[in-house]
Structure 1
C-alpha cells in the first residue's frame, strides 16, 4: 500500500462525555457513605458529606472551596487600583520635564513667553487629572514632551476601551487613526444593534452582519446576540464595580481624565450609551458591588476589570461548590471556570465528584423509600455486605489461620472417619489415607514406591460426613445509648451486615432474625437496622429481646436454634404483663429474674447461645458469665473493631465445629 499524504490532528474530545474516560470507582464512596448512614446520617447527608470531604486521592468540595477563597484573597491582597493613574502621572512628569529642558535650551525664544510658560508649568494643579486637562491646549515646544503628552491620551483611550473589551489595550497599541476610526464605527454599530435588540426589532441577520463586519473585536466568538450581550454585560458590570472599589479621589481623577481618551469626547459618549443598554438588558448583573484592594501591584483599568471579573467568577464558583441552594447538583459546576481559576486538576476533581454523585443517584445505589426519603438500595446493601464480609474474613484469617476443610459445597459436617470411595460420592478425599493406601498396595505388589506412585481407584478414601442441620439464627443487638456513646454503634451495624450477607449468599438454607433491644425490643430488617439512628432513651431490655428470639425459634421448629447476643450493659429493663417497659438502675431483682427465666426456656429448647461482651464493666462480666453457664453457652469479649469477625466466627463454629476456610464463604 502506498503512503497516504494526509495529516491527523488530535485534541480534547468535545462531543459530550469522554467515551474513553475511566469508570467512576464507587467502592470508596459507597463505603464512606454507608459508614455515615450507619452512624445515623441520612443517605443524602452522607453523600453530601463524602463529596465535601473527597476521597483518599481526590479533593473534595470543601478543599476546592478553600482554594477558591484563597485565590480571591490573593487577588485583593496583591493588587491596587492606581495603575492607570500612576502611568498617567509618569507620562505627565516626563512631558513637563522635557518641556522645561527645551525652554532652558531655546535661547531665541521671547523672554516674556518663556517666563509665562515656565510659570504655567511650575503652577500646574497637584491633581494629575486637572494638570492633564489644563495642558490640553498647551503649545508644546519640545517634540518629546508633545509625544509623551499624546501618549497619555492614547493610554486613556486604550484603557477605557479595555474596560469593556478585554485585550483592547494591547490590540490598539501604536494604533493609527484608521484603527481608532474602526473602533468608533464598531461602537456605533454595536449601539444600534443593542438598541434594536432592546426594542425587539433585531434579527439574526442583523447579528450576523455585525459579526461579519466587527467579529475581530470579539475573541469570545459569540453565536447569538444574547451571548454577545452576556459577555459585554459581565465585563461592563465588572468595570462599574472597579470604579466603585476605588477611593473617591481616584474615581474623580479617572472620570476627569476620561475626557482626554484619544482626544475624543465622542468615545466616552458612545461607551456611556453602551453601558446604559447593557444595564437595561442585564439588570441581574452586579452593577453596585465593590471590593477592597490592599496590594501594591497597581492595576490599569482593563486589567482591574479583568480581576473584578475573576472575583465575580470565583464568587459564583463558591456558591456552586457550597451546594446550599435548592435543587443543587454538582452538574451545576462550571468546569471551564474552575479550570481557569484553579487549574485543570481542580476541574478533574470536580468532574470526578460529579460522576460519583450521578452514579450514586442515577445508578441505583440510592433510591427513594415509601416515605420519600433516600435510602441505600438493595444493590448498595449487597455490595456493602460483600465488602464487610471480605474484611471479616481477613480478620478471621489473621486470628485463626486458614483451615484445611472446605465449608462451601460440603455435603455436611465431617465425622472424623473415612471410608472407601464409591461411585457418585462427592465428599472430599481423605488425602492422608489415600496416599497411605497407595504406598501399601505398591509395596505389596513388589514395586518400589521411590520410583513413582500410581493411585488406583481402590486406594481412594473419602471423609465421612453427616447431614448438617439447618440453623435458625437470631442476632440480638443492644441499641441502648451507651452503644453509641462508646463508639460501638457502627461496629454493631457492620457486624449485622456482614452476617446478613453471609447467610443470604452462602448459607441460604439458614434463617436469620435481627432483633434490637433498648428500652423495648423489636425485629428489624437489615435496611431498617442500617438506617437506625442512635437512640437516646435509657434501658437495656434483654428480657424483651429474648422473648422475640424465642418466638422466632418456635416459627422454625425443625432448625437448630442459634442465639448471638451483643451487649455492653446489664439488663436494666423488662417487659411488664401489660406490655409496658419497666426501667430501673441499678437493675432490680425482678428484671434479672424474668430475663434469666426467658434464657432458661431457650436453653431447654437446645439453643446454642453466645454472648459478645463489649467493654470491661465488672457487673456485665459477671452477669454474662453466669448466664452462659446456665445454658452451656459461650462468652466472647472482642474489641469493637473485631466484633464482626467474632460473631461470624461463632456462627461458622456452630456449623462446622471450628473447621472452615475463610476464602470459600467470603468470595
Structure 2
C-alpha cells in the first residue's frame, strides 16, 4: 500500500486548525442556549468577537467561519417569507447530541452494546468463568469443553474408549441482560426560564446526550421523549435541539399519561420514566376543559397526578423524578409521587443533572430516595 502526500489545499480540504475548532465549540455551546437558532447564536458570536476579539490575529474571521460551516455541511441557507435565513443541518443536530454526550457523560465506559448487565446469572451473551451442568435448551456455543471432557474421562476411569454422556456436559454461565424502554419527560412550562435561571438548557442538553447514548451504546433499548406544558406531546430526536419553553402551565398528569401510553407499545422487559421538572403540577383536563391553578399545591390537581403514579406502579413502570427546584413545598409533592409509585427522586443541581440521570440509567437499579 502506497501513501501519497500533497500540500494542504483549503479549497479541497477546508480550513483546518485550532481557530475553527475553538469557534465551532463556542458555536455549539451557543446553539444549546438558543434552542438551535443559528442566526441568534451567530449574532452572539459577533457580539463576543467585537468585545473580546475572538478572531483577532487569526487566519479567519466570522464570515470565513460561517462559509466554512456551510462548506462542511453544518449550516444551510433556507428561504423564508423575508429572504434567506441560516439554519443548522442534520449534521449539526448529530454533532450537538455527541457534544452533549461528551460533556455530560465524560466518564462513560464502554461495556458492550445494547445490553444492561444485572446481578443475575442466566442466558445472555457475556460468558462468565463459572460453569454449571448443561440443561435442555442451553446454547452449546457456551460449552465448557475442558470441563466436559474432564468429566467424561473421570467417569470412564481414563479408559481409551471413553464415552461422553449428557451428565458430563458443562456450560459457562452468562450474564442475564435486560433491555430497557425509557420515556424522558421534559417540563416546558414557563417557570423553566423564570426567576433569572435557565433550566431548560440543561434539560434539553440532557435529552440530547441520553438519546445519543442509547443510539450508540444501547441500540436495543428504546427512548421516547415527551414534552409537557398545558398538554403533553411526543418529541422526536430530530426535534430535541429546538425544544423551548412556552407560556404554559404544568400538566404533569398528561405527561405521565402520554408516557404510559408509549411504554404500553414497547416490548422491552424493563420500563421506566425519567421526569425532569422544576415545578408543581398546575393544571389538568376535566371533561375536555382545562382546570388550572398556579398558586400552591391544589389537591384537585395533585391527586390526579398521584393516581397516575399508582397506575404506573401497578404496570411495573418506575418513575424517577429529577427535581431542579429547592422549594420545600415542591419537594413535598415529589415525595408524595415517589411514595405512590415506589420510584426514585433526585433533587439535582442544574450542573449535575446529566450526571444524575446518566448514573441512574446505566446502573438501572433501585436506589434509596434522596
> In which range does the TM-score fall when normalised by the shorter chain?
0.7 to 0.9
Which residue of 2 is the match for residue 40 of structure 1? 34
Which residue of 2 is the match for residue 490 of structure 1? 201
| Gap regions ≥5 residues in structure 2 | 1-6, 122-127, 133-138, 145-169
Matches within 5 A, 1:153-552: 346=56, 348-349=57-58, 351-367=60-76, 374-394=86-106, 406-408=111-113, 412-415=117-120, 419-420=130-131, 424-425=141-142, 464-468=174-178, 470-485=179-194, 486-535=197-246, 537-552=247-262
Change (3 A) 1:369 1:599: farther
Q: Distance in 1 between matches of 2:302 and 2:315?
A: 20
| Gap regions ≥5 residues in structure 1 | 1-12, 54-59, 66-344, 428-459, 659-667
Question: Secondary structure in 2 aligned to 1:474?
Answer: strand
Which residue of 1 is the match for residue 23 of structure 2? 29
Q: Distance in 2 between matches of 1:510 and 1:598?
A: 24
Question: Secondary structure in 2 aligned to 1:424?
Answer: helix
C-alpha displacement of 1:607? 0.3
C-alpha displacement of 1:64? 5.6
Does the Cα contact within 8 Å between 2:114 and 2:219 map onto a contact in 1? no
Q: Distance in 2 between matches of 1:569 and 1:20?
A: 47
C-alpha displacement of 1:626? 1.6
Structure (1 or 2) with the greater strand fraction: 2
User: What do residues 608-634 of structure 1 show as CA deviations (whole Å, max 9, x unaligned)?
Assistant: 211111121111111111211122111
Question: Secondary structure in 1 aligned to 2:58?
Answer: helix
Change (3 A) 1:576 1:426: farther
Which residue of 2 is the match for residue 173 of structure 1? none
Does the Cα contact within 8 Å between 1:411 and 1:426 map onto a contact in 2? no
Q: Distance in 1 between matches of 2:317 and 2:255?
A: 15
User: What do residues 191-244 of structure 1 show as CA deviations (whole Å, max 9, x unaligned)?
Assistant: xxxxxxxxxxxxxxxxxxxxxxxxxxxxxxxxxxxxxxxxxxxxxxxxxxxxxx
Q: Distance in 2 between matches of 1:565 and 1:384?
A: 22
Structure (1 or 2) with the greater helix fraction: 1
Which residue of 1 is the match for residue 328 of structure 2? 618
C-alpha displacement of 1:644? 0.7
Q: Does 1:636 align with 2:341?
A: no
Change (3 A) 1:624 1:527: same
Question: Secondary structure in 2 aligned to 1:615?
Answer: coil
Q: Distance in 2 between matches of 1:605 and 1:567?
A: 23
Does the Cα contact within 8 Å between 2:96 and 2:241 map onto a contact in 1? no
Change (3 A) 1:585 1:529: farther
C-alpha displacement of 1:462? 5.6
Does the Cα contact within 8 Å between 1:612 and 1:635 map onto a contact in 2? yes
Which residue of 2 is the match for residue 183 of structure 1? none
Does the Cα contact within 8 Å between 1:38 and 1:532 map onto a contact in 2? no
User: What do residues 110-129 of structure 1 show as CA deviations (whole Å, max 9, x unaligned)?
Assistant: xxxxxxxxxxxxxxxxxxxx
Q: Distance in 2 between matches of 1:411 and 1:425?
A: 20
Does the Cα contact within 8 Å between 1:546 and 1:598 map onto a contact in 2? yes
Does the Cα contact within 8 Å between 1:38 and 1:533 map onto a contact in 2? no
Does the Cα contact within 8 Å between 2:319 and 2:341 map onto a contact in 1? yes
Which residue of 2 is the match for residue 336 of structure 1? none
Once structures 1 and 2 are overlaid, which stretch shifts more, 581-590 or 537-546? Answer: 581-590
Which residue of 1 is the match for residue 279 of structure 2? 569
Question: Secondary structure in 2 aligned to 1:351?
Answer: coil
Q: How many residues align?
A: 318
Which residue of 1 is the match for residue 151 of structure 2? none
